[in-house]
Chain A
Amino acid sequence: MHPHSSAPEARYQLAPQVYLAWCIFVVWGLPMPSPAVAGLIVSPTSVVLDSPEASQQLIVSLTDEVGRRDVTGDIRMSVGDVSVADIEGRALVRPRSEGRTEIVIQFGNETVRVPVDVIKQRLPDPVSFRNEIIPILTKARCNSGGCHGKAEGQNGFKLSIFGFDAESDYAALMKDGKGRRISLTQPQTSLVLVKGTSQMPHGGGRKIEVDSYRYNRVLRWIREGARLDPVSSETGQIVSIEVEPREQILLANGTQQLRVTAIDRSGTRRCVTVEAEYESNAAAIADVDQRGLVQASDVPGEAAILVRYLGHVTSCRVTLPRSGVMFERPAETNFVDKLVWDQLGRLGIKAGSAASDSEFLRRVYFDTIGTLPTSEEARRYLADASTDKRDQLIEELLNRDEYVDYWTMKWLDILRADQLIVTPQGTVAMQRWLRHCFQQNVPFDQMARELLTVQGSTTAEGPGAFYKILKEPDEMSRAVSQLLLGVRIECAQCHHHPSERWSQGDYTALAGFFTGVKLKKLPNGTEAIVSLGGKDLPHPRTGELVSARALGAAQTDLSGLSDRRVALADWLVRPDNEFFAKAIANRIWAHYLGRGLVEPVDDIRETNPATNEPLMKALSQHMIGVKFDMKSFTRTLLRSRVYQLSSESNDSNRDDLQNFSHATYKALPAEVLLDAISQSTGVAEKFNGWPDGYRAIQIWDNRMPSYFFQIFGRPVRATVCECERSGEPSISQALHLLNSPEITAKIRHREGMARRLAKSELTVDELIDELYLTALSRFPRDEERALMADAFAVPEISRQEAVEDVLWALLNMKEFIFNH
């Protein structure tokens, strides 16, 4: 156990916030709490059910000294007149016949009464296809991508995915299938009902129960003539949805019933809890069922419950604190620490201990310059007694040449510099441009502008070759959006994005900036990027021209611009752009801390919130504040105590993977690991066809055949997604490190480290020190020294063989293979 976790030092203060966390009142939207019983809150305070299939979810919660908790499922409730209304499942009120009654909720000696009005049962408003039938098809997953929603449909019946196109779905039901899907004369025999209920064999099985509310609603719609309501009909277009609660703190294994309300243009609110869809982004922390019941596990953390209804999306944030933890608030260097400690306090997760000097040294070398410290560097640093030596080291590393090498390599991957496609000259041109940027520390907004608006030869220094990979305007806009905004919009190419706000119109509008981009052949056989003029593109469904427009932005005035992309670049780097700074801040954070605040790093959307929103926001602001100076931003991260935490975990934070309570084990990129092996063994890797002296992180040829690169997951640069670089371990990796002739040859090499050390005058103790410093950047612990010394004590093993064996063992330590 590390001393910090058992005996708090003076610089750690106890935080009062952790106790407050238990008393936070979650603010609910509507309605007002019922005053009837102190501590018991029932919402809503009255219920109106205005159609035969309507329902209203009640939520009952109890407030006591530990906070507010959901008791909807645990409390006794009854209906005054069961011929008027009834309760189904967990406090879902359903109509039976027109009239008035009340729900009586009893708690102890107290009683709360909720009046219920049941109206429009005999002469209901007609069923709206758009607002009421489509959600049924969605909830039953008829229109999902695996079933009738896929591009070719299923067994001849094709629906639009997630029901984004009501007109075509209506046509598919009414006109295709020889009119058998809907029978107006005998509604019950409509195929959509007999198949959906599995009364007739249905590949998808039973999706709807006979006589259920959903069944009855579809049946009523058919009986009413199966009409498609006009867009602007009286029932009104749904303009938004709300979920209650928006935030909730739950105890381990606790539950929370959600309620979802749809609001139409006229402001009418209807409970759609049973028809909405639910999904948790962290089911291990809190999961949700399709009736909107959230079930917490016993893993502390935060989960976002995504709620979807008719193309509208919202979410509820669930926090699951660990109970009984005394949070010792470590000291703060900067705002990063403050916001991380805030969150850990809220969650009841202990911060880990501070990283030792050797741990910090190795980590900051690998993260910043992709290079293992030499034993000499390690010795010097560990012996340095100055108090600001960490800050000094950070400065030193940010100014090393390897910083340029390493970040150039990383961005060649992200920019997809695949030499098979962009040609070797194009790859080198991009490499030189990136080297220049990182050498000069060009602000990222300027880099992005250059990338976005580049013109001229694809083989001259610059990012022009990026456009060789992307053939069509929409490919360009997709890549740029994912790369620079962290927004994945490709789903919106074919349909309304199922979990985001982007529509096909937004997609087309963004592509409109790239319609002037052409690849021109030059007389000398090379190519040049030209962007001149351009035109607006037609909407894929309606065919109407869509004006070029950035995501979420107003229409742009393109008159007087010869290159439309300039307008996009202007928008991109504007301080009020909510995506750009966030995307790059999150990307750099993920590089150093091992996980994005938003994960995947390039999938930023409302429904995929950051694990620490205040920190995400502060980092975006900071990025803007330092004017996109990447070294400055990096310095802030590296100096924070959060970055400088040990990777050792304690009982309280062992399972925490997303709140940065301790450092994580990161896979070393294939190139970095190979360089580390070469450096530790003292034998440079020979890259086929390359001159001597190159390190793996300098090799721009992404197609260089290498078994090592292949098994350690060097990306092939097929996408702009950082996820392409696989950090996943495999058997082949372990086999290769343990047993391959290649690494054996490096260990045994006649001019290698092992032989050099064996020939030296060093004592066994000194040898072991040197080997540990070489491979692990630290001195051995006593038990390690004893273990390794044994190798030197075997009579039939020579000194040189013993050095080889120890070096081999060190190269196979997880501590060597990973960055931690």
Chain B
Amino acid sequence: MLRLELGKPSVGNCDGVDRRHALRLGATSLLGGLSLPTLLELQAKAGTGREVRAKSCVFLFLEGGPPHQDMWDPKPDAPVEIRGPFLPISTNVPGTFITNQLPHCAKIADKYTILRSHSHRDNGHSTGYHYVMTGRRANFADGDNPVPNNDYFPSIGSIVARELNQGGAVPPYINLPHPMQGGGPGFYGAEYAPFIIESDPTQPDFEVRDLQPISGLSNGRVSTRRKLLAGIDRLERSRAQGRASVMSTYYEKAHSLITSSEAKRAFDIHSEPDDVRDRYGRTQIGQCALLARRLVEGGCRFVGVDAPGWDVHFNCFPSLQTDLIPYADQAFSALILDLEERGLLDETLVVMMGEMGRTPRVNAQAGRDHWSMAQTVIFAGGGVKPGQVIGATDKHATAPSTEPISVNDLLRTIHTLMGIDPDRTYLGPLGRPVPLVDGGKFIDALV
């Protein structure tokens, strides 16, 4: 399927390290002396020059724009129309305060890092999703755009799938439970599109699209079908070439997804003990976070959790207080503790953010509006130095008072933490090289 060409150092990178490139030839076997993981390791080190810990990323995407000042960046000294009704509480890190709506997270502030100085200038939802997921400003107007809306530029998840896929039974890039708006593969094509489960893991009859055994097939028919398929495969194997033989490998993967215990286990949230499921919360974000952990254990490289509902323009505090923040608080803290308990936190990068923050001033309808000038981003695991607060906003949480962290700074940092060279390029359909990340700086303070 892949031929890896390793003999020649190709044209040097800007980072001064020669990069090796993998070349797709449509041949049927893995040639070359190095295994893919070894190659990934080499590439990781060659591209960035730092030790790579993060093998996977769980991206909790709070869609709609979570209010930074009501969660992670409280401003108790500001007037009430700015600070809102929530009060700051201390965390287990002396000197770090967050709002009292995040009690679970307050107990484990030593396990993650709060970055308060993220800022950009795209104040729309669908354009913002596009921007955050691809690092490129959308070329369409904000509105009811198709999903995914990134026609051209690949999303971060598709990039990770392309760069780090290890070929296990579990797909490398998954969206839970719905497709992320900016989460498509762009010009990378269907091969790097997210695998989308399209069903709700909180439901008792939760199952993944096209993964459940076909209903009403007796055991006899299942085994007959298996025999037919194996027979066909035997007869076809010598004949199929090129894409068709690549398809054979996908058939094997699909078959193992359907039949392998590994993949079944990964998606089988029902096998989690009740107390674990309760710990995450029986909410969509909670159960998706739990499923994300299972998928990471199964070898998935990028799980994007689509957690909508944060666009709180009207009477926002009751819903923030009852549904939104507590669910996120519980899901995030349970995920971090669970990953840590299982020894996975170090190799799993967890990022929680939205496409923007919300307006400093509470509006006339007791809501907060779009505000991309300031947002707080939470990082944990994957080699991130925990227990820190990075950056700050001004006294009304309007804009960063420290150096602003851009979308591409975030993307560059995530790629780098995962051992992906952000400056690697692929030729786009227009024949121009498209780098994985469009500029940006690595956030040094994070490691």
Interface residues of chain A, those whose CB is within 8 Å of chain B, are 141, 144-147, 150, 152, 154, 198, 202-207, 283-284, 287, 289-290, 420, 482, 488, 490-491, 600, 603, 647-649, 654-655, 657, 664-667, 703, 707, 710-713, 716, 718-719, 721, 723-724, 726-736, 738-741, 744, 781, 783-784, 787-788, 790-791, 794, 796-797, 801-802, 805-806, 808-809, 812-815, 817-818, 820
Contact yes or no, A726 B23, CB < 8 A: no
B253 interface residue (CB < 8 Å to A): yes
B214 an interface residue at 8 Å Cβ cutoff? yes
B93 within 8 A of A: no
B3 at the interface (CB under 8 A from A): yes
In the docked arrangement, what's the CA distance between A64 and B257, Å? 59
Which chain B residues in 236-283 approach chain A with CB under 8 Å? Answer: 236, 239-248, 250-251, 253-255, 257-258
Nearest CB on B from A228, distance (A) = 26
Please, how many angstroms separate the alpha-carbon atoms of A647 and B238 in the complex? 12
Return B295 CB to nearest CB of chain A, in Å: 14
A787 to B15, CA, bound (A): 58
- The answer to whether A202 touches B16, judged by C-beta atoms less than 8 angstroms apart, is yes
Residue among A204, A732, A817 making CB contact with B210, cutoff 8 Å: A732
Task: Determine whether the beta carbon of A150 is less than 8 Å from that of B439.
Answer: yes
Provide the B2-42 mask, 1 if CB < 8 A to any CB of A, else 0.
Answer: 01010110011111110000010111000000000000000
Enumerate 26 A-B pairs (CB-CB under 8 Å) in ascending A order: A141-B11, A283-B5, A283-B8, A488-B430, A654-B241, A718-B152, A719-B429, A721-B429, A724-B429, A729-B246, A730-B250, A732-B193, A732-B195, A733-B190, A735-B254, A735-B258, A738-B210, A744-B215, A787-B227, A787-B235, A794-B224, A805-B225, A809-B228, A814-B244, A814-B245, A815-B236
Q: Are the C-beta atoms of A729 and B218 separated by less than 8 Å?
A: no
Interface residues of B in 400-447 (CB under 8 A from A): 423, 425, 429-433, 435, 439
B110 at the interface (CB under 8 A from A): no
Cβ contact of A734, chosen from B187, B251, B435, cutoff 8 A: B251
Cα distance A806–B229 in the bound complex, in angstroms = 9
Residue of A nearest to B439 (CB): A152
Chain B residues contacting A788 (CB-CB under 8 Å) are: 228
B250 and A665 form a contact (CB under 8 A): no
A144 touches B244 (CB 8 A): no
Known: A723-B187, A783-B235. 5 other contacts (CB 8 A): A203-B16, A207-B16, A287-B8, A666-B243, A711-B193
Min Cβ gap A502→B in Å is 12
B167-196 CB contact bits vs A (8 Å, 1 = yes)? 000010000000000000001011101010
A802–B17 CA distance with the chains assembled, in angstroms: 60
Does residue B146 face the partner (Cβ distance < 8 Å to A)?
yes
> B220 on the interface (CB 8 Å rule)?
yes
Whether, in the assembled complex, B231 has its beta carbon less than 8 Å from a beta carbon of chain A, the answer is yes
Contact (Cβ within 8 A) A147 B14: yes
A794 engages B220 (CB within 8 Å): yes
Q: Which residues of A contact B195 (CB under 8 A)?
A: 731-732
Contact status B243-A144, CB under 8 Å? no
Render B87-126 as a binary contact track against A, CB cut-off 8 A, 1 for contact. Answer: 0000000000000000000000000000000000000000
For the complex, give the distance between the alpha carbons of A70 and B91 in Å.
Answer: 73
**Which residues from chain A contact B209 at a C-beta distance below 8 Å?**
707, 735, 740
Q: Which of B17, B193, B210, B218 makes the CB contact (< 8 A) with A739?
A: B210
Q: Does B232 contact A (CB under 8 A)?
A: yes
Taking CB as reference atom, which chain A residue is nearest B242? Answer: A665
Docked-complex contact B151 and A718, CB < 8 angstroms: yes
Q: Would A738 and B11 be within 8 Å (CB), given that A726-B191, A731-B171, A791-B228 are in contact? A: no
Pair B232/A738 contact, Cβ less than 8 Å: no
7 closest A-B pairs by beta carbon, nearest first, are A205-B16, A734-B254, A726-B189, A718-B151, A809-B228, A721-B429, A728-B191
Residues of B within 8 A of A202 (CB): 16
- Check if A809 sits within 8 Å of B16, measured CB to CB: no
Cα–Cα, bound, A788→B189 (Å): 36
Cβ of B378 under 8 Å from chain A: no
User: CA separation between A402 and B49, bound complex, in Å?
Assistant: 57
A732 to B247, CA, bound (A): 11
* List of A residues within 8 angstroms of B213 by Cβ: 739
**Contacting A703 at CB < 8 Å: which of B146, B191, B431?**
B146
For residue B211, CB closer than 8 A to chain A, the reply is: yes
Contacts known (A738-B254, A818-B244); A141 close to B228, Cβ less than 8 A: no
CA–CA, A813 to B248, complex, Å?
9
When chains A and B are docked, how far (Å) is the Cα of A736 from the Cα of B337? 36
A604 CB to closest chain B CB (Å) equals 11
Are B247 and A649 in contact (CB-based, < 8 A)?
Answer: no
CB–CB A284/B146 < 8 A = no
- Shortest beta-carbon distance, A738 to chain B, in Å? 6
Q: Does B221 sit within 8 A of A, measured CB to CB?
A: yes
Give which listed residue, A205, A712, A723, A731, contacts B253 with CB less than 8 A.
A731
Q: 1/0 contact trace for B342-383 toward A, CB 8 Å?
A: 000000000000000000000000000000000000000000
**Contact partner, A665, options B14, B27, B221, B240, Cβ 8 Å:** B240
Do A731 and B430 form a contact, CB below 8 Å, given A202-B16, A204-B16, A711-B193? no
Most B Cβ at <10 Å: residue of A287, A491, A665, A784: A665
Q: Is the CB of B247 within 8 A of A729?
A: yes
Contact B15 A204 (CB under 8 A): yes
Knowing A735-B211, A814-B240 touch, does A146 contact B14 (C-beta < 8 A)?
A: yes
Complex-state Cα separation, A600 to B246, whole angstroms:
21
What CA separation (Å) do A672 and B189 show in the bound complex?
18
B148 to chain A, nearest CB (A): 9
Scoring B12, B218, B220 by chain A CB atoms within 10 A of each residue's CB, the highest score goes to B12
Measured CA separation A796–B224 after assembly (Å): 11
- Cα distance A740–B209 when bound, in Å? 8
Given A730-B250, A733-B190, A815-B236, answer yes or no on A600-B211 (Cβ-Cβ < 8 Å). Answer: no
The CA-CA distance from A649 to B240 in the complex, in Å, is 9
Using Cβ atoms and an 8 Å threshold, which residues of chain A touch B228? 787-788, 790-791, 805-806, 808-809
Q: Which residue of B lies closest to A787 (CB)?
A: B231
Q: Separation in Å of the B142 CB from the closest CB of chain A? A: 14
Q: How far is the CB of B396 from chain A (nearest CB, A)?
A: 31
Contact B430 A784 (CB under 8 A): no
Interchain CA distance A207-B17 in the complex, whole Å: 10
Residues of A within 8 A of B430 (CB): 482, 488, 490, 719, 721
Give the distance in Å from the alpha carbon of A453 to the alpha carbon of B152 in the complex: 29
Cα–Cα distance between A667 and B212 once the two chains are bound (Å): 27
Chain B residue numbers with a CB within 8 Å of A154 are: 14
CB closest residue in chain B, given A488: B431
Which of the residues B17, B27, B243 comes within 8 Å of A727, measured between beta carbons?
Answer: B243
**Structural contact, A655 and B27, CB atoms closer than 8 A:** yes
Contact of A146 among B13, B232, B239, B258 (CB under 8 A): B13
Give the interface centre of A204, A728, A820 by most chain B CB atoms within 10 Å.
A728
Q: Which residues of A contact B246 (CB under 8 A)?
A: 728-729
> Residue B435 contacts which of A146, A724, A791 (CB distance < 8 angstroms)?
A146
